[in-house]
Amino acid sequence: MDSGPLPLLFTTFAVGAAFLLSCGTPAEAPPSAQFHRSSLKINKAFIPEGRYGRHKTRSMSPRYITLHSTQNRGSGTGARTHARLLQRGGLKSKHNSLGYLIWHFTVDAYSIYQTLPTNEQGQHADYEGTGNRKSIGIEMCENRGNSRSATLDRTARLTAELMRRHNIPLRNVIPHRHWRMIRYSDGRDLGHKNCPHFLMTNGRPGSKWQSFLTKVKSYL
Ligand SMILES: [Zn+2]
């Protein structure tokens, strides 16, 4: 995600969300043995057409897949919660051209939610840059109690599926950190964000990022 007032919004939201959602879903079996292509379930929870960041629809032919993490540790802030938040315009941004943060998929240990069609641009990476104009945005959840390894595994399978569907090569699967952020509102150069932070090594793609790509490759 981009910078700005997000942490405060999320904190406020997380408090409410804790009452609405239960994360007491039973743990899953080890992922590697049970997963195959046909088992990938994607819940559709689109932002309403014409509203909340979809009021200015901009078409897209995706050439990249950009990975993020939510940086939201609040309990109950899993994939469904984020989808519902986007669906009601809950993530405003005063610095981008849409006025909202929006992205395509959110993944946690148990589920995938899609909030934006892959042929529409999001606002999740670099304001008016290539990251938003040409890439599918995937957010990985970090809520307390959510298994990171299961989340990474599910994300790798989704990434592989999207690569197949859109003919995107592995070299175009990239971390948010890759995109330079030039803020839309005032042209300020915000540089590169350390995102997804748990896949970066000293703020850059290194061995952890390579392991993730290896996992993606195993599902192609
Ligand atoms: Zn990000």
Residue 38: pLDDT band (50, 70, 90) is low
Torsion-angle region of 91 (φ positive above 0: left; ψ -120 to 50: alpha; else: beta): beta
The whole-angstrom separation of Cα 103 and Cα 115 is 7
Torsions phi, psi for 200 (to 5 deg): -100, 155
Determine what percent of the chain is predicted with pLDDT higher than 90: 80
Q: Is residue 109 part of a domain?
A: yes
- Find the 68 Cα to ligand 1 centroid distance in Å: 4
- Domain span including residue 106: 36-218
- Find the 4 Cα to ligand 1 centroid distance in Å: 12
- Find the 149 Cα to ligand 1 centroid distance in Å: 19
- Find the 197 Cα to ligand 1 centroid distance in Å: 9
Tokens standing for 156? 């790798």
- Find the 64 Cα to ligand 1 centroid distance in Å: 14
Torsions phi, psi for 194 (to 5 deg): -80, 80
pLDDT in tens, 152-163: 999 999 999 999
Q: Is residue 46 part of a domain?
A: yes
- Find the 57 Cα to ligand 1 centroid distance in Å: 21
**Mean pLDDT score of the chain:** 87
Residue 56: pLDDT band (50, 70, 90) is confident
Residue 1: pLDDT band (50, 70, 90) is low
Torsions phi, psi for 119 (to 5 deg): -100, 20
* 157 touches 219 (CB < 8 A): yes
Those residues whose beta carbon sits under 5 angstroms from the ion ligand 1 are 68, 176, 195
- Find the 176 Cα to ligand 1 centroid distance in Å: 5
Instruction: Tell me the helix, strand and coil percentages in the chain, rounded to 5.
Output: 35, 20, 45
Q: Is residue 133 part of a domain?
A: yes
pLDDT in tens, 7-37: 444 444 443 343 333 333 334 444 444 445 5
Q: Is residue 88 part of a domain?
A: yes
pLDDT in tens, 203-216: 999 999 999 999 99
SS (H, E, C) 42-89: CEECCCCCCCCCCCCCCECCCCEEEEEECCCCCCCCCHHHHHHHHHCC
- Find the 206 Cα to ligand 1 centroid distance in Å: 17
Supply the pTM of this predicted model: 0.84
The answer for residues whose C-beta is within 8 angstroms of residue 154's C-beta and 6 or more apart is 31, 107, 108, 109, 111, 112
Q: Is residue 14 part of a domain?
A: no
- Residue 219: the pLDDT is 96
> Which CATH number does the domain housing residue 208 bear?
3.40.80.10
Give the total number of structural domains in the chain. 1
- Find the 19 Cα to ligand 1 centroid distance in Å: 27
Q: Is residue 134 part of a domain?
A: yes
Helix axes 207-218, 148-166, angle to 10 degrees: 60
Residue 138 has pLDDT above 60, yes or no: yes
Q: How many other β-carbons are positioned within 10 Å of the β-carbon of residue 51?
A: 12
Residue 177: pLDDT band (50, 70, 90) is very high
Report the candidate in 168, 191, 145 with the shortest Cα–Cα distance to residue 67.
168
- Find the 2 Cα to ligand 1 centroid distance in Å: 6
Q: Is residue 183 part of a domain?
A: yes
Strand intervals (E) in 141-203 = 173-175, 180-182, 189-192, 200-201
- Residue 102: the pLDDT is 97
- Find the 67 Cα to ligand 1 centroid distance in Å: 7
Range scoring the smallest mean pLDDT among 13-17, 180-184, 198-202? 13-17
Residue 57: pLDDT band (50, 70, 90) is confident
- Find the 71 Cα to ligand 1 centroid distance in Å: 9
Q: Is residue 105 part of a domain?
A: yes
- Find the 1 Cα to ligand 1 centroid distance in Å: 4
- Residue 10: the pLDDT is 47
Residue 192 per-residue DSSP state: E
pLDDT in tens, 102-130: 999 999 999 999 999 999 999 999 999 99
